Amino acid sequence: MNGAMPPAAAEDGETAQAAPAASPPVIRLDGVSKSFGATRANDHLTLAIRPGEVVGLVGANGAGKSTLMRLICGLTRPDSGRIAIGGIAVDLDHFSPNAARAHGIRIVHQELSLCTNLTVAENFMLEEPAALLAPEPAWRERFGRRAKAQIEAIFPAAGLGADEVVDHLPIGQRQMVEIVRAAAGDGLRLLVLDEPTSSLDAGRSAQLRRWSRARAAEGVAIIFISHKLQEILDVASRVVVMRNGRVVADEPASRVTVTDLVERMGGHPHEGGAPAGSAARPDGEALVTIAAAAGLADHAITLAGGEIVGLSGLDGNGQRDFLHALLAAGRRHDRAITCRAEPGFVSGDRAGEGVFRLWSVLENIAIGASVDRPPLARLSPRAEQGLIRPLLERLRLADARLGANILDLSGGNQQKVLAARALLRGSRILLLDDPTRGVDVEAKAEFYRLVREVAAAGTLVVWYSTEDAELLECSRVLVFRAGRVITELRGATISAEALVGAAFAGEKPAATAGRAGATHRRPRGARLAPVISLIAVLAVMVALNPGAASPFGLDLLLGPALPVALVALGQMFVVGGSEIDLGIGPFAGLVSVLAATLLISAPLAGGAVILLAIGAYALMGTLIQARQIPSIVVTLGASFVWTGIGYTLQPTPGGSSPAWLAVLVDWNLPFLPTAAALLVLAALAALALDRARAGVVLRGFGNDPRALRQAGWSAVRAAALRFAIAGSFAAIAGLSLTAVNTASDINAGDSFTLLSIAAVVIGGCRLFGGSTAPVGVVCGAVTLSLIGALLGFLGISTDFNAAVQGALLLGILVLRTALSGSAAAR
């Protein structure tokens, strides 16, 4: 079928060139192929990019542009072919993103890879991987200056501070940061911009193009991918058109027009089957009605049984949301959207939301028949086989493979299994979410035939596809922009040209930039909540017992809070990595025992053992990350180890505090209670660590580990450091416990585990990682440890201590969910 391609066009990319011809190409791809399953994403592709060129790369959805970019950047390895950089052949086995970066190749991905919890300058730092603990006190200033200068160079007067947190920026500014960050590095030789202007307004887009031309004049090569063809013609010196994994046109930009490009991108050979529109059955029963009130279109839309309705438009303009809105409406009553039946759903993201990977093919299909049965009904494999067999024949799936694991099937056959699952459920509405992604041509053709059959039987098929060619299979196409249906094509009016035309017509970038401009700035009050609650608790206590306000009284009240606060700070770093540590309290207890026993009898050995214990903690972090096992079970198991060791060393409470340790907590400031001063010190230490380069990297890992790994940071090392920090804080907590109590008890730390988690939550950290708030956590820990004393003041039994702490933890989480839920609803 690929034979239908014009053969001449794919020959060689180095045709008309205006660039300095003497220097070798920055990158040269020679006969490069890459297949996913049986799909040839890149098919014998040859292309050379010379210094000083701006190459505009265009192609319809699914033409293979993204794969090409991933090959160039070392993210994907080609199946065959050669790549040369600067005239020197590349060893493809060792061509990684880091190697590409070393060659001066940078990419700006379509999806942003910024850590949203970090500032602009911090995100610039992440782009330059270094040793985690490499000392550079002034890195913040260095990257801040670089960010500022580079933003000004590309986007003059952007009004974008280097210290702004990315989460607070509108999407357009985020995209600017992403672009500048990649372009800013030293030694840039090739810059790949993948849809860089999708969220930029016209002015910023023009600035970017001006800058691109200027950089090219200095000898940098730039690949500019965009759906906005006017921009391409404006910025590029040369335009490359891709189709079906091949280069089909490669010409100087001055010689082509937008119409030429659209023509070359479209014009898919329609692969057999019934002519488009033949499946339309306008007489079908209306199965879905979408009122204008749903805000999806200007008018009401009715979809009927027998129709194949395609969802088209540029990627990410609300097609997927539309599918999910239909699915939700089928399950619950929805005022604006009516679904006559609960739809079946087939996703093209097979690994992420399709297959059940522990199951056989049979089970993967059979669940479709199970979902609507009563839970305690018996499964009958024989009856299921009887149900499934006719389906398999329709789908041409060899039933000899029914017992095979689902992952042993090719992508195309997996897709058939998912279709069979949805069909087995027997819904009259079938939703397809880009179902043929990564499926070979033949399997696609079979899938199209199946869809036609299903529709012919009276089912409504709603089909979102990222490949324009597939929409030719539809009887009706809804074209989306910015979340709304803007045009509708029917029957014979559906053609490749019409689809491309409708999607590109009247592109108004400013509109999208404005829409997506919402920010998530958290109200200042939320961040002050821990401080306010601490002051409130203190105020109540002083009101109940004025003696508490004296320095001595405060010291007495705050003393027990110190170890809790330290453990909580340790826990904060663990929670910052989306993990949880159930052994941190017992670990503090163990160090306390070590301090009261070994550290006195043999100070050197004692110190060494404590350091060793912290090393073991780091090792635990390494184990969790490297083996991908749940931290909760590992730390739970470890908690028994810590307790066991402590118990063996010291079966009954006792020991004493080393004299030097006691001195550390026994000094006096005239104006401040000692305990308060120590708490402030602890908070400052954690704050300093959190803001140091290593701390920032850890927060980055908590926010977006994929982005960090892509930038070249080691996840295992980060995990080791994270747990080493947690262990160190817990160890200091243990030492302070011994110093304050002048004795130790292995069980003294047990209650700290829950307290530390509660303090982290109260302190304002989110539980899904990347969020830290040292001051809040210390306030939270102090509040929690004061509650015991407060209950005493109120004459309530200390029995209620645990309940109050547990309820407080849950209450705050419930409150926070309720608040964020109502905010999202608005």
The residues in 59-78 that bind other proteins, with binding defined as CB under 8 A, are none
Q: Which stretch binds other proteins (CB under 8 A): 90-98, 159-167, 560-568, 806-814?
A: 806-814
Q: Which of 332, 335, 627, 826 binds other proteins (CB under 8 A)?
A: 627
Tokens at 729, concatenated: 């804080």
Q: Which stretch binds other proteins (CB under 8 A): 50-58, 455-463, 625-633, 708-716?
A: 625-633
Give the CA distances from residue 244 to residues 40, 60, 195, 795, in Å, rounded to whole numbers and listed in that order.
8, 9, 19, 78
Helices (H), 381-517: 381-395, 411-425, 441-456, 496-504, 509-515
Q: Which is nearer to other proteins, 225 or 808 (CB)?
A: 808
Q: Which is nearer to other proteins, 685 or 813 (CB)?
A: 813
User: What part of residues 564-603 is at the interface with other proteins (CB under 8 A)?
Assistant: 580, 582
34 pairs with which residues across the strands?
A: 42
Q: Which is nearer to other proteins, 197 or 753 (CB)?
A: 753
Q: Which is nearer to other proteins, 203 or 637 (CB)?
A: 637
The site map against other proteins for 755-774 (x = CB under 8 A) is --xx--x-----x-------
Return the exposure string of 104-121: e unless at least 16 CB atoms fall within 10 Å of the residue's CB, then b: bbbbbbbebbbbbbbbbb
Q: Which of 482, 632, 662, 715 binds other proteins (CB under 8 A)?
A: 632
Task: Decide: 304 and 460 in contact? Cβ < 8 Å.
Answer: yes
CB of 303 to other proteins, least distance (A): 20
Q: Which of 104, 176, 167, 171 is nearest to 147 (CA)?
A: 176
Q: Specify the residue for token string 């931290």.
A: 631
Sequence-separated (6 or more) residues with CB below 8 Å from residue 257:
233
Give the CA distances from residue 691 to residues 609, 617, 688, 722, 814, in Å, rounded to whole numbers and listed in that order.
29, 22, 5, 14, 30
CA 181 to chain centre: 19
Q: Which of 211, 345, 587, 723 binds other proteins (CB under 8 A)?
A: 345
Q: Which stretch binds other proteins (CB under 8 A): 119-127, 242-250, 374-382, 443-451?
A: 374-382
Number of residues counted as binding other proteins (CB under 8 A): 79
Contact call for residue 807 and other proteins (CB under 8 A): yes
CB of 121 to other proteins, least distance (A): 32
Q: Specify the residue for token string 């129709």.
A: 307
CB of 466 to other proteins, least distance (A): 18
Give the CA distances from residue 797 to residues 384, 792, 801, 802, in Å, rounded to whole numbers and listed in that order.
61, 7, 8, 11
User: What part of residues 354-373 is at the interface with other proteins (CB under 8 A)?
Assistant: 354-360, 363, 366-368, 370-373
CB of 359 to other proteins, least distance (A): 7
Q: Which is nearer to other proteins, 130 or 632 (CB)?
A: 632
Contact call for residue 405 and other proteins (CB under 8 A): yes
Which residues of 476-635 form beta strands (DSSP E)?
A: 476-481, 484-490
The site map against other proteins for 136-175 (x = CB under 8 A) is ----------------------------------------
CA 291 to chain centre: 34
The site map against other proteins for 637-676 (x = CB under 8 A) is xxxxx-xxxxxxx-x-------------------------
Contact call for residue 623 and other proteins (CB under 8 A): yes
Contact call for residue 819 and other proteins (CB under 8 A): no
Contact call for residue 407 and other proteins (CB under 8 A): yes
CB of 590 to other proteins, least distance (A): 11
Contact call for residue 397 and other proteins (CB under 8 A): no
CB of 768 to other proteins, least distance (A): 8
Sequence-separated (6 or more) residues with CB below 8 Å from residue 291:
300, 335, 336, 337
What gap in Å lies between CA 656 and CA 654, rounded to an integer? 7
Helices (H), 692-747: 693-703, 705-711, 715-741
Please provide residue 433's backbone torsions phi and psi, each rounded to the nearest 5 degrees: -105, 90
Tokens at 165, concatenated: 């947190």
Task: Decide: 112 and 186 in contact? Cβ < 8 Å.
Answer: no
The site map against other proteins for 518-557 (x = CB under 8 A) is ----------------------------------------
Q: How many of the other CB atoms lie within 10 Å of CB of 81?
A: 17
Tokens at 111, concatenated: 């999806």
Contact call for residue 326 and other proteins (CB under 8 A): no
Return the exposure string of 586-597: e unless at least 16 CB atoms fall within 10 Å of the residue's CB, then b: bbbbbbbbbbbb
Q: Which stretch binds other proteins (CB under 8 A): 88-96, 101-109, 533-541, 803-811?
A: 803-811
Contact call for residue 805 and other proteins (CB under 8 A): yes
Contact call for residue 88 and other proteins (CB under 8 A): no
What gap in Å lies between CA 449 and CA 814, rounded to an integer? 50
User: What part of residues 410-439 is at the interface with other proteins (CB under 8 A)?
Assistant: 421-422, 425
